[in-house]
Chain A
Amino acid sequence: MSEVAIDAIDRAIVDRLQGGFPLCEQPYAAVAHTLGISEADLLARLQALLAARVLTRFGPLFQIERIGGAFVLAAMRVPEGDWQRVVDAVNAFPAVAHNYRRESERGCELNMWFVLATESADAIAEVVGKIETACGLPVFLFPKEREYFIEMKLAVRA
Chain B
Amino acid sequence: MTVAGDLAHDHDHDLDANPALDPLDRRLVLATQNGLPLLPRPYHHLAEQLGIPPDEVIERLRRMLANGLIRRIGAVPNHYAIGYTANGMSVWDVPDARIDELGAQIGAIDFVTHCYRRPRRLPAWPYNLFAMVHGASRAEVQRKVAVIAGILGPDCRAHDVLFSTRLLKKTGLRIG
Q: How far is the CB of B124 from chain A (nearest CB, A)?
A: 7
Chain A residue with the shortest CB-CB distance to B103: A148
Expressed in whole angstroms, the Cα–Cα distance for A145 and B120 within the complex equals: 11
Expressed in whole angstroms, the Cα–Cα distance for A18 and B113 within the complex equals: 13
| A-side interface residues, number (CB < 8 Å) | 93
Please name all residues of chain A whose beta carbon is closer than 8 Å to the beta carbon of B7 when the two chains form the complex.
65, 144
Please name all residues of chain A whose beta carbon is closer than 8 Å to the beta carbon of B153 when the two chains form the complex.
none
Q: Which of B94-132 contact A (CB under 8 A)?
A: 99-100, 103-104, 106-108, 110-119, 121, 124-125, 130
> Per-residue CB proximity of A84-114 to B under 8 Å, as 1/0?
0001001100101111111111101110111
Check A55 against B77 for contact (C-beta < 8 Å).
yes
> Per-residue CB proximity of A106-142 to B under 8 Å, as 1/0?
1011101110010101101100000000000000111
> Per-residue CB proximity of A1-34 to B under 8 Å, as 1/0?
1011010000101100111110111111100000
Which secondary structure dominates chain A's binding surface? mixed
Check A149 against B166 for contact (C-beta < 8 Å).
no
| B-side interface residues, number (CB < 8 Å) | 90
Q: Could you tell me which B residues sit within 8 Å of A by CB distance?
A: 1-7, 9, 15, 18, 20-21, 29, 32-36, 38-44, 54, 58, 61-62, 64-65, 67-85, 89, 99-100, 103-104, 106-108, 110-119, 121, 124-125, 130, 134, 136, 160-175
Chain A residue with the shortest CB-CB distance to B104: A148
- A146-B81 in contact given A63-B70, A153-B113 (Cβ < 8 Å): no
- A141-B1 in contact given A97-B173, A117-B173, A146-B100 (Cβ < 8 Å): yes
- Asked if A79 is an interface residue, CB under 8 A from chain B, the answer is no
